[in-house]
Structure 1
Amino acid sequence: MPIALSNPPTVHTPGAYSHAVLVTDPKRRLVLSGQVGTAPDGTIAAGGEAQIDQVLANLSAILAAHGMSSANLVKVTAFLTDPALIPAWRTKRGAWQGDHRPASTLLIVAGLADPRFVVEVEAEAVE
């Protein structure tokens, strides 16, 4: 896979992400729209942790539909409406990503497209 994670020693050591991801000659690039806690049947997961689980399931399903997995991610951007969800996001993201550490941004926002949503995640993947 043409992905090289980059964490130069001249900047602080990152946590569960990489400072940069160098993509060299990808065969395919997949840009995933922001995913929220909506299940395939249209129901919205109840509670922040359940929405995080559903978001990760949605992202996994989209990646799988294109023959990819979380190991193909090069950038993840997460939006949370409640800072209290940060520990749950980090734990669940870590379990989902495993040892792979794509570039990552986490934002706390005032709201999302529907007030019932408390988390949204968009991503980019390459092969």
Structure 2
Amino acid sequence: MTAATQLIDVRVSCRIGIYFDALAIPAGAPQVVPSGAPGSRPSRTMPEDFAEEAGQASDNVCEGLRPAGAKLSDISQVRSWLTDRDDIDAYVKVRKDVISHRPAYMLVLVPQLIRPGLLLEIEATAVVMQAAAKQHE
């Protein structure tokens, strides 16, 4: 994310995690809103363990952003759904390995996702600031 995006920290989110409370996105900045991404491989098989599934889901999010010119650093918000509380620590570790900046986050525990066997789904919105800067040149 660039300096043009206003990061708002009113000290609420820090009570439970390391992310910003809100982001103010400047007018004219293209947003990319991909669908939720499961952790299935391109072969449509599922990884054997949760950490691998979380890493694959993150890769799948990136694949959804790339055609629109967005990259990991453009992610402004992440919403994640997990089916097992015991997987939260592994998910947070993978998330920290993948995303080094602090977008807005939401993590929800759900009893089941649409397909049996899926342990998580990740949805990430990106703001492509480079495209907005080019429009104003």
CA RMSD of aligned residues (A): 1.5
Specify which of 24, 27, 38 is matched with residue 25 of structure 1. Answer: 27
Specify which of 5, 15, 18 is matched with residue 16 of structure 1. Answer: 18
Take 1:22 and 1:65, find their aligned partners in 2: how far apart are those partners? 24
Q: Which has the larger radius of gyration?
A: 2
Q: 1:104 maps to what in 2?
A: 105
The 8 Å contact of residues 7 and 18 in structure 1, kept in 2 or not, is answered as yes
The 8 Å contact of residues 13 and 19 in structure 2, kept in 1 or not, is answered as no
Aligned pair count reads 125
User: Which protein has the bigger helix share?
Assistant: 2
Amino acid across the alignment from 2:86 = A
- TM-score normalized by structure 1? 0.89
User: Which protein has the bigger strand share?
Assistant: 1
SS at match of 1:60: helix
SS at match of 1:13: helix
Name the % identity.
28
Structure 1: tracts of 5 or more residues without a match: none
The 8 Å contact of residues 32 and 70 in structure 2, kept in 1 or not, is answered as no
Which ranges of 4 or more aligned residues in structure 1 deviate by more than 3 Å? none
